[in-house]
Amino acid sequence: MKLLIFSDIHSNHKALERLVAIEADYYFAAGDLVSWARGLEECGRILQPRAGRVYVLPGNHESAAQITSFCHQFGFHDFHGQTLQIGPHHVAGLGYSGPTPFNTPGEYTEAELAERLSLFATLRPLVLICHAPPYDTALDRVHDGLHAGSRSVREFVDRHQPEYLFCGHIHEAEGMQIEMGKTKAVNVGKRGYLLELT
């Protein structure tokens, strides 16, 4: 099974068209298809040829309610706080970021992120898809000395060691891949990452 995971399109329609053209069994949009929730309908039209296989998370630029409505309109799956079993693997999704300086629509406190992540703690093997990257890693590095990820995501990965973590949010870290113990972790960005599960 092939899973294509991508994030932070921010209305770059050419990037989204390139991703939709890739053959996969599942397509996971891990947040921020647009900026400030404007232009979702155009992204929906681009994604619609894959509709039954598209799973969408809200980033910090979309509210959960906006993504629920968007998925209902276009026949996508609202994957915020949800799980899916693919063979032996559990795939879990959590949108939103931690607090930002910009007061965007999709932000949780760290306590809220931790509470929502805790629902996935017993799932094994786990593929975790979050909008927010883990704090103080190469995946959330904005520049030297500035990391803007989630402490709750970091603590969850350190403690529960999912097989994979895919995230976005921090554009400067797009494409970065690291190992966090037994966890392979990737900031997918708009380049996307094609995961093949056996």
How does pLDDT run across 157-187, given as a tens digit for each residue?
999 999 999 999 999 999 999 999 999 999 9
Architecture of domain 2-196: 4-Layer Sandwich (3.60)
In the chain, what are the domain boundaries?
2-196
Q: What is the side-by-side order of every strand in the sheet holding 193-196?
A: 77-78, 54-56, 26-29, 2-6, 193-196
pLDDT, tens only, 116-170 = 999 999 999 999 999 999 999 999 999 988 899 999 999 999 999 999 999 999 9
pLDDT, tens only, 58-100 = 999 999 999 999 999 999 999 999 999 999 999 999 999 999 9
pTM here is 0.97
pLDDT, position 145: 84
| Token pair listed for 187 | 């900031």
pLDDT at 197 over 90: yes
| Token pair listed for 193 | 């990452």
Please tell me the distance from the alpha carbon of residue 116 to that of residue 138, in angstroms, as a whole number: 24
Contact 183, 164 (CB under 8 A): yes
